[in-house]
Structure 1
Amino acid sequence: MPSDTDSLQERIAHLERAVDDLSETVARQDRDIALLTRRVALLLEREAARQDEGVGAVVMGDERPPHY
């Protein structure tokens, strides 16, 4: 029969493993978020450049398109 000390050591080992796994997950998510943030910023810059050039204009509501 395992002693209380053995049981506690086993529980601590499992908890340490869980903390390590969670730490790796958080680190990976941090890298993913940073990458996605850079990509969104790039897309926003590209869209702003398109709007400055007048390319890709979208007709909103009842506005007449420019060819009328």
Structure 2
Amino acid sequence: MAEDFEQRLVELETRLAFQDQTLAELNDALAEMRREVARQTDLLRRALEELKQSRGALYADPADEPPPPHY
């Protein structure tokens, strides 16, 4: 009976060790994904800002432009 108990204890400790390792790996993967999402968010924010600037240059208010030289 003590041998059976010891075998179960070893099996539980082994499972716990594997679960701890898996949890650490998942935590690392989650941290990496959060960094990637932050990087993608920053890239998207910059791209949108550049698009707004480009649109502003393309669709400038004609009243703000100087008259052509022949006027």
Taking structure 1 as the reference length, what is the TM-score of the superposition?
Answer: 0.76
Q: How big is the alpha-carbon RMSD for the aligned residues of Structure 1 and Structure 2?
A: 1.6
Cα distance in 1 between the residues matched to 2:24 and 2:53: 44
CA distance in 1, matches of 2:28, 2:55: 41
Query: Which runs of 5 or more structure 1 residues have no equivalent in the other structure?
Result: 56-68
**Bigger helix share:** 2
1:16 positional shift: 0.3
The number of equivalent residue pairs is: 55
Question: Which runs of at least 4 in structure 1 moved beyond 3 Å after TM superposition?
Answer: none
Percent identity for Structure 1 against Structure 2: 18
Larger radius of gyration: 2
| Greater relative contact order (Cα < 8 A, sep 6+) | 1
The TM-score with structure 2 as length reference comes to 0.73
